[in-house]
Homo-oligomer: A and B are copies of this chain.
Amino acid sequence: SETFLALRNISCGHSSPLSAFHVLCCRYVSKAAVNTQADYDYDRPLMKTQVPGPRSKELTKQMGQIQNNTAINFFCNYEESRGNFLVDVDGNRMLDVYTQIASIPIGYNHPALLKVVSDPNNASAFVNRPALGILPPESFVDKLTEGLLTVAPKGLNRVQNMACGSCSNENAYKAMFIWYRNKERGTSIPSDADLNPGCPELSILSFSGAFHGRTMGCLATTHSKPIHKLDVPSFDWPIAPFPRLQYPLDEHVRENAQEEARCLEETEDLIVKWRHKGMPVAGVVIEPIQAEGGDNHASAAFFISLRKIASKHGCAFHVDEVQTGGGATGRFWAHEHWGAEDPADIVSFSKKLLTGGFFYRDEMETDKPYRIFNTWMGDPSKNLLLAEVLNVIRQENLLAEVTRTGKALLGGLYELQAKYPNLLSRARGQGTFCAIDVCKASVRDKLILQARDNGVILGGCGDLSIRFRPALIFKEHHVHMFLNVFSDLLAAHK
Contact = CB atoms under 8 A, between A and B. Distances in A.
A453 interface: no
A199 B232 contact: yes
Nearest to A279: B233
Contacts of A76: 130, 135-138
A128 B376 contact: no
Indicate the member of A137, A202, A381 with the most B CB atoms within 10 Å: A137
Given A76-B137, A170-B216, A217-B217, 17 more contacts: A59-B141, A67-B161, A67-B365, A71-B370, A72-B136, A101-B131, A103-B376, A110-B127, A166-B167, A180-B231, A194-B230, A195-B227, A197-B229, A198-B229, A201-B233, A215-B217, A216-B216
Question: How many copies of this chain does the complex contain?
Answer: 2
A231 to B, nearest CB: 4
Interface stretch (A28-36, A115-123, A339-347): A115-123
A231 B181 contact: yes
Nearest to A178: B231
A371 interface: yes
Interface stretch (A78-86, A241-249, A262-270, A427-435): A78-86
B372 A68 contact: yes
A399 B180 CA distance: 48
Interface in A219-236: 220, 225-235
Interface in A151-200: 157-161, 163-167, 170-171, 173-174, 177-178, 180-182, 190, 194-200
A149 interface: yes
A134 interface: yes
A289 interface: no
Given A108-B128, A200-B233, A135 B73 contact: yes
A196 B234 CA distance: 13
A164 B165 contact: no
A351 interface: yes
Given A76-B137, A164-B376, A127 B202 contact: no
A40 to B, nearest CB: 12
Contact of A117 (B63, B126, B145): B126
A100 interface: yes
Contacts of A136: 59, 63, 72, 75-76
Interface string A341-373: 000000000110010000000000111111111
